[in-house]
Amino acid sequence: MPSDATSRLHPQRPIVGVGVVVWRGDSVLLVRRGKEPNKGQWSIPGGAQQLGETVFAAAAREVQEETGLEVEVRALVDVVDGIMQEAGRVVYHYTLVDVVAESLEGEPVAADDAAAVGWFTLEELPALQLWSETERIIRESVARLEQQGR
């Protein structure tokens, strides 16, 4: 299947995406992915950045689209490469800019690309079998919030 510059499947260049670690108290918001890649797996909310949109604006928009929650983006956590290959060919390539945010009110509702949403404690994460980078980013986000005076 030929790809074009805007295709997510077999792209010609990486796609910039944002991932958002949303905290409320001691719980982190996770979404069960409703679409590929990684359909059915728990992850942090996020998605592709749009042209003309800042990373923090993209993060707030993606959380709102996937869960209905308003967030305050607090800090950059890290940048992660999400590259999936099959038979020596790149199937997906995302450059993921991960940020940490807080949501103070409202109940999340699965929408857009999310099949389900939920709040989880750090102690519950290992049972969810998250991608190792996702779990690392969540744990690192705690330090970023502490640096912000949380």
Residue range 81-127, pLDDT digits in tens: 989 899 989 998 999 999 999 998 999 999 978 889 999 999 999 99
The total of other beta-carbon atoms located within 10 Å of residue 82's CB is 18
Which residues, in sequence order, are CB contacts of 34 under 8 Å at separation 6+?
Answer: 110, 113, 114, 115
- Stretch 67-94: mean pLDDT: 93
Domains of the chain: 15-145 (3.90.79.10)
120/24 Cα distance (integer angstroms) = 10
Checking if the pLDDT of 7 tops 90, the result is no
Give the separation between CA 47 and CA 96, rounded to whole angstroms: 9
Question: In this structure, what token pair is assigned to residue 135?
Answer: 């779990």
